Amino acid sequence: MDYRTGPTPMTSNVYPYSGPTEGSRAVTTTVVNMTPSVTSVRDHFLWSIFNFAFLNFCCLGFVALVFSVKSRDRKVVGDVEGARHYGSTARTLNIVIAVIATVCVVLSIVIPLAVVLSVN
């Protein structure tokens, strides 16, 4: 065997190769590209937690949270359509809660202001 001790330039694409030896075996490699099994489905979990904690009007925040958890469970199982359905229901409930809470806050400011201004 001949060993070289000098530097090998890294710019060349030719490297010394002596070929297979007596005890070597061919190695077969296989590349498997795995795509995510579940597409991105929004479950609106954080929005539901916020509405449950702060804007829980007639327990709608709790119901939205339940649908968000159901959506997350369906996503873990791999049922994309079920996850979309529950996520859509959670989103609708969260929107309804936000609208009702906004109307209540606005009315709680406007009505006392109107009463105070009408007295004077």
Asked if residue 95 lies in contact with residue 83, where contact means CB atoms within 8 angstroms, the answer is no
CB atoms within 10 A of CB 89: 18
Assigned domain for 18 exists: no
Q: Which residues contact 69 (CB under 8 A, 6 or more apart)?
A: 43, 45
Assigned domain for 89 exists: yes
Q: For residue 37, name the pLDDT band (cuts at 50, 70, 90).
A: low
Structurally, how many domains does the chain consist of? Answer: 1
Q: Does 9 score more than 70 pLDDT? A: no
Half-sphere exposure of 23 (CA within 13 A, CB side): 0
Assigned domain for 51 exists: yes
Assigned domain for 95 exists: yes
Assigned domain for 25 exists: no
Q: What is the per-residue pLDDT for 95?
A: 96
Of 2 and 75, the structure prediction assigns the larger pLDDT to: 75
Assigned domain for 73 exists: yes
Assigned domain for 1 exists: no
Q: For residue 2, name the pLDDT band (cuts at 50, 70, 90).
A: low
Domain residue limits at 61: 45-119
Assigned domain for 39 exists: no
What is the mean pLDDT of the segment spanning 22-50? 79
Q: Does 7 score more than 80 pLDDT? A: no
pTM across the whole model: 0.64
